[in-house]
A and B are shown apart, each in its own frame.
Chain A
Amino acid sequence: MIKDLVNPSNFNLLVGKLGDVLTRALDQPLGYAINWGRIWSLWPVHLETACCSVEFGAASGPRYDVERFGIIEAFGSLRQCDLIVVQGTVTRKMAPRLRMVYDQMPDPKYVIAMGACAITGGLYIDSYNVLPGIDGIIPVDVYVPGCPPRPETLIQGTMLLQEKIKRSKIR
């Protein structure tokens, strides 16, 4: 029976079809599993850009404890990280460094813009040394407003990011 069906002329076709079926069957759950893995181990880069880092520090303290949500306060290398939380004002001196850090990180990578300064320039919009928001240099996934955002706001922002990752397709 199989011998009838599979002959050298349509063998390739069958393998292709089988592959398709397999991908269909596995893609969804596999992607879900991979995304699930990503969601709960977001490693932020240790890059402080301005005063919002105080609230980021508070968020990783015992009361707010972002580790519950899978944000691991890591002091590791850039190459292991997949999240930048831009903690406030980006000055003209910091901007090239920020981009350099972003470029060095492996894919997939996510960016949270924390604080009014990182979003639009905030209080320092008319300063001569401050960028009006970071979206000119790196793509931003989630904006967290506030000056500084309360740790709760930051946590909400990270949960939004997790939601976004959950829905995104894996590559």
Chain B
Amino acid sequence: MSSDQPAGQNGSEQKKAESNHIQTSISKKDEAIIPEFEGDLINKIVSRFGDKIVQVIYIRPGRSKILVPPNEILQVASFVRDTLGFDHAESVSGTDYPKDNQIEVIYHLGSYSVDKLASQVLALSTRTDRNDSRLPTLINIFKSAEYHERETFEMLGVYFEGHPRNERFLLPEDWADIPPLRKEFRIKGR
């Protein structure tokens, strides 16, 4: 990946190109037999948004992953909540990929209100540029992501646009280093 490409403009091509890094084995599993329920779920999402925007990967039973560019994430998230019935975020985690010069933020969504979805966890993932990491916040869609996003801001330096409190949360007030979960942050003696 060339690092000077801004994130978000050319979403899906980027996704396909970067899958050489870590997602390789996951894409291979695509060919495995996808259970009916998950297949249905994937079809619904793909037929609504099309291959260009979203890329849905089946990982294992009960786990599917959607890759979206940042500028589409709000739409996809509202669709996932309103039509599919995933109603809360279980966790929001950011992963740093210095090789791709990107940070991946991944929302694990679950559902309480739809019984059939209880065993499903949908991962909604998006990538942003490492040097200027900004993402739209999802707290208006998933209120439960509020503290998780705040933590992600603090730990990885991803600024969530529209989040009311992009500020210190877990780290000490006088923290003056780079966000600790970035890969170039080294811990003592390692």
Hey, which bits of chain A sit against chain B, CB under 8 A? 91-93, 125-129
B172-A129 in contact (CB<8A): yes
B173 surroundings in chain A (CB, below 8 A): 93
A128 surroundings in chain B (CB, below 8 A): 177, 180, 185, 187-188
A-B residue pairs in contact (CB < 8 Å), sample of 5: A92-B172, A92-B175, A93-B173, A126-B188, A128-B188
The answer to whether B171 has its CB under 8 Å from any CB of chain A is yes
Instruction: Name B180's closest neighbour in chain A (CB-CB).
Output: A128
Q: Told that A126-B189, A126-B190 touch, could you supply 15 new A-B pairs with CB distance under 8 A?
A: A92-B172, A92-B174, A92-B175, A93-B171, A93-B172, A93-B173, A126-B188, A127-B187, A127-B188, A128-B177, A128-B185, A128-B188, A129-B171, A129-B172, A129-B180
- Distance A93 CA – B190 CA, assembled complex (angstroms): 23
Total contacts A to B, CB within 8 angstroms?
22
Which B148-190 residues sit within 8 Å CB-CB of chain A?
Answer: 171-175, 177, 180, 185, 187-190
B188-A91 in contact (CB<8A): no
B172-A91 in contact (CB<8A): yes
- Distance A5 CA – B163 CA, assembled complex (angstroms): 90
CB distance from A131 to the nearest CB of B (A): 11
- Distance A127 CA – B187 CA, assembled complex (angstroms): 6
- Distance A89 CA – B188 CA, assembled complex (angstroms): 16
Instruction: Name A132's closest neighbour in chain B (CB-CB).
Output: B188
Q: 6 nearest interchain CB pairs? A: A93-B172, A92-B172, A126-B188, A126-B187, A128-B187, A126-B189
CB distance from B111 to the nearest CB of A (A): 33
Instruction: Name A121's closest neighbour in chain B (CB-CB).
Output: B188
B175 surroundings in chain A (CB, below 8 A): 92
- Distance A126 CA – B185 CA, assembled complex (angstroms): 13
Q: Mark B31-55, 1 if CB is under 8 A from A, else 0.
A: 0000000000000000000000000
- Distance A129 CA – B172 CA, assembled complex (angstroms): 8
* Most chain B CB inside 10 Å of its own CB: which residue of A92, A127, A128: A128
CB distance from A166 to the nearest CB of B (A): 39
Q: Which of A92, A93, A125 contacts B188 (CB 8 A)?
A: A125
- Distance A60 CA – B26 CA, assembled complex (angstroms): 51
- Distance A124 CA – B146 CA, assembled complex (angstroms): 28
CB distance from B180 to the nearest CB of A (A): 6
* Most chain A CB inside 10 Å of its own CB: which residue of B172, B174, B189: B172
Instruction: Name B188's closest neighbour in chain A (CB-CB).
Output: A126
CB distance from B149 to the nearest CB of A (A): 21
CB distance from B46 to the nearest CB of A (A): 42
